Chain A
Amino acid sequence: MPHEVIMPALGMAQDSGLIVAWHKRPGDAVSEGDVLFEVETDKATMEVEAQTDGFLLQVRRDAGDDVPVGEVIAMIGDSKEDVQAEESPADAPLPADTDLPTGREVIMPALGMAQDSGLIVAWHKAPGDAVAAGDILFEVETDKSTMEVEAGHDGFVAALLAEAGEDAPVGEAIAIISADKPEAPVQRSRKSAPAAAPTAPPAATAPKAAPKAPVPATPPPPARAEVVSEHDRILASPKARRLALEQRLDLNRLVREGYPQPYHVKDLEILRSLPAEAAPGPSSGARRITAQVPSDGFSRFALWAAEQAGLQDDGALLAGLAGASLKSDGAVVAVETPVGTRHYSVPGRQFGDVAETDSGTAVDLVLRDLRSSRIGSVHLGPEDSPVLTVSARGEGFALTLECASHHLTASEAVALLSDFAGRMEQPLRHLL
């Protein structure tokens, strides 16, 4: 029975070994323990001994070759000639695996570091022997040491599927222990096993699968995780938030449109591509109308009021004119000038009844007096109350009414401004 000489795994995680030198020549007689060859691994150079007595035959690899662990590099035969017959074991008629007795399989255990296979040194039980779970069944030699392996099951040795001296891949079934005494216990070598033995990969290819295998793939996540924002805080990346701020983009829009959070920079492109939101309805729009009047009417009136009626306060005059334009039974008008704001209660048409009131009162109308400034035209948008702005323009005044549509209807706004414009042009009408 020829014995295979394989490249042993001498080092940890060793995939291959470099044959430094052969110490025996083909045809030489060798004894178990003789140094056969020297092998260099990533760590050291070591001498490898023959595992059996016989003759060195079929040296397939030369000094200098780098050989994968587990590859057969030579044979040790019983005589100088006995090798050829053993060359093609696969051609021999093979018993089907179904011929094997039933029972518990005993596999080649992984005992050493980075061990891909184990050499069966000896069987301690013969086919048909009774065996207890704690009995030593066989001895196995790994790259590091020789160890005894227990049977693991009570019963009878129904089959030994590898012979002493054979190298079996880790995980391969090498024996069968049956519960009942087998009628025809099997003993064979690995070579005589059926060719289609998918139990384990050949030793030489096993290491390829080892290094840094991928992490088991996590199931692909669904398109995007739906995230509900807590307390109305929008989830967005720092960069997306910063760019939105810089580019005056409103992330709330993405929320309203139903795009899932969190938002990233590329979601800003979606935001930019969204059509403008629907035009605001009549209830939420802004109104702005302007008028122009000559200024001399008001100027003359102010002089007259100061001299004849003792009304020195321009603000009160403007508040009275504006308040009267509202056509209500009484109004509070806030007059804003660049120096401050004063509130006036305007109960009716009499200027004498216009009185300053405290600033806490609800304001019906704001009169923004910008006559002393350089500002000619305003477009400030609706505020809390309708706003009448008086500013200087050329020889006269520009009058601007701005309000929200819910403050005044369109016709009320037109009526208010045209009334106020008329009073500013001919303040004496106010007295009529």
Chain B
Amino acid sequence: MREITLSQAVNEALAEEMRRDETVFIIGEDVAEAGTPFKVLSGLVEEFGTARVVDTPIAEPGFMGIAVGAAMTGTRPVVDLMFGDFIYLIMDQLCNQAAKTHYMSGGKLSVPLVLRTNLGATRRSAAQHSQSLHALVAHIPGLKVALPSSAYEAKGLMKTAIRDDNPVVIFEDKLMYQDKAPVPEEEYLIPFGEANVLREGSDITLIGTSSMVQVCQKAAEILGSEGISAEVIDPRTIVPLDEETLLASARKTSRVIVVDEGHQSFGVTGEIASRINEKAFYHLDAPVLRMGAMDVPVPFSPALEDITVPTPESVVENARRLVHGEMIHAA
């Protein structure tokens, strides 16, 4: 199978959906003639024109509000938010308007909008351009949240997101744009709420999201060489969350580490760990561990930045402790 980058995969998904459905359009900063963020959108304005690939001023609340309104009137906007950190700027448009309109209009209006943005540290981009803020929006009922972990996932999830009749936020890992993966030429969709078991194992379950799926995969390889059989699961979407697959794995291996690049406190790792504790308690042979980013602003110093996020080595270290039955006081 051919291999393409995550960037190309997103580009293909957008182009295919725009050809299929003329109500799909892209709006955001630098998406058209001003050059495209991370070069994901190269070639789209040439094919679809400036009416469907719309450059905006640097005014996130403005173009997000335009998109929400456009979605209510029957179009399918794909909003390009250059950095996930800027989500703070559009909180009202996203969380108060887009997420609640279908409910508050008694189902008369819907907001079939996709917010494309990103997450991920270790890009030397400092504290205001390195955050992973998906937990913020996952907290809001009415928003779906997809976290692609490869080029294949990015394309399939994007196409599903565009066809969804409700608002979806997709966080791409900005360090993964140039990572290649096999992506079929023929069309495919990845349904929401279906976790992907990337590797089967019997001793411990590593649940990773987005950028942390690779980290878990590498950790599982190292653990395998030590005789510890690790299962790796990518939930793909955290809203909706495929609890069934996660719980089945927890019951099988009886040990779980949840790894996510958002801050550890009050985050995705805590939510998933808590559900496993509640629903698989009597099958657990060790506490469910959370591994998120440190609860600090992402440091600008590369040496410091690198230790704020989980690494294969730190996951391996914690997995060993759980498997060997050490007393865990805190992760």
Interface, chain A (partner B; CB < 8 A): 12-13, 42-45, 113-114, 210-218, 221, 224-225, 227, 235, 237-240, 242, 262, 264-267
Contacts and interface: CB of A to CB of B under 8 A. Distances in A.
A211 B312 CA distance: 12
A44 B38 CA distance: 7
B48 interface: no
Contact of A113 (B125, B175, B324, B326): B125
Contacts of A44: 35, 39
A264 B37 CA distance: 51
**Most A CB atoms within 10 A — which of B37, B126, B303, B306?**
B306
Nearest to A225: B327
A211 B317 contact: no
Interface in B291-330: 300, 302-303, 306-307, 309, 311-314, 317, 321, 324-327
Contacts of A240: 285
A242 B302 contact: no
A238 B282 contact: yes
B302 A210 contact: yes
B124 A113 contact: yes
A225 to B, nearest CB: 4
Given A43-B38, A238-B283, A238-B284, A213 B125 contact: no
Contacts of A113: 124-126, 300
Contacts of A42: 38-39, 177-178
Given A210-B302, A237-B284, A239-B284, A218 B325 contact: no
Given A237-B286, A262-B327, A114 B302 contact: yes
B325 A224 contact: yes
B122 interface: yes
Interface in B93-145: 122-126, 129
Contacts of A45: 35
B4 to A, nearest CB: 15
Top-3 shortest CB links A-B? A114-B124, A214-B313, A13-B123
**Most A CB atoms within 10 A — which of B39, B123, B285?**
B285
B314 A214 contact: yes
A107 B209 CA distance: 41
Contact of B317 (A212, A217, A235): A217
B269 interface: no
A237 B325 CA distance: 9
Interface residues on B, range: 35 or more
B154 to A, nearest CB: 15
B281 interface: yes
Contacts of B178: 42
A320 to B, nearest CB: 55
A43 B325 contact: no
A42 B42 CA distance: 12
Contacts of A227: 327
B150 interface: no
Given A225-B326, A227-B327, A212 B254 contact: no
B285 A210 contact: no
**Most B CB atoms within 10 A — which of A42, A212, A242?**
A212
**Most B CB atoms within 10 A — which of A12, A45, A210, A237?**
A237
A12 B35 CA distance: 17
A114 B123 CA distance: 8
B131 to A, nearest CB: 15
B254 A239 contact: yes
Contact of A267 (B175, B317, B325): B325
Given A214-B311, A238-B285, 14 more contacts: A13-B125, A13-B175, A43-B38, A113-B124, A210-B302, A211-B306, A212-B122, A215-B311, A215-B313, A237-B284, A238-B282, A238-B283, A242-B283, A264-B286
A267 B325 CA distance: 9
Interface in B55-114: none
B214 to A, nearest CB: 9
B285 A211 contact: no
A337 B215 CA distance: 71
Contact of A237 (B38, B285, B302): B285
B313 A239 contact: no
A212 B125 contact: no
A44 B41 CA distance: 12
B285 A221 contact: no
A51 to B, nearest CB: 23
24 contacts: A12-B123, A13-B124, A13-B125, A42-B39, A43-B37, A43-B38, A113-B126, A210-B122, A211-B122, A212-B122, A212-B306, A212-B309, A212-B311, A213-B306, A213-B311, A215-B307, A215-B311, A217-B317, A218-B317, A227-B327, A237-B254, A238-B282, A239-B282, A239-B284
A242 B283 CA distance: 8
A264 B323 CA distance: 10
Contacts of B129: 12
Contact of A238 (B281, B303, B314): B281
A321 B39 CA distance: 103
B307 to A, nearest CB: 5
A264 B317 contact: no
Interface in B261-275: none
Contacts of A215: 307, 311, 313-314, 317
B80 to A, nearest CB: 14
Contacts of B324: 224
Contacts of B285: 237-240, 264-265
Nearest to B218: A212
Nearest to B313: A214
A305 B77 CA distance: 103
A210 B306 contact: yes
A239 B317 contact: no
A309 to B, nearest CB: 63
A43 B125 contact: no
A229 to B, nearest CB: 12
Contacts of B122: 13, 210-212
Contacts of A224: 324-326
**Most B CB atoms within 10 A — which of A13, A240, A262?**
A13
Nearest to B211: A212
Contacts of B313: 214-215, 217
Given A238-B281, A264-B285, A216 B307 contact: yes
Given A44-B35, A217-B313, A221-B321, A265 B254 contact: yes
A238 B250 CA distance: 13
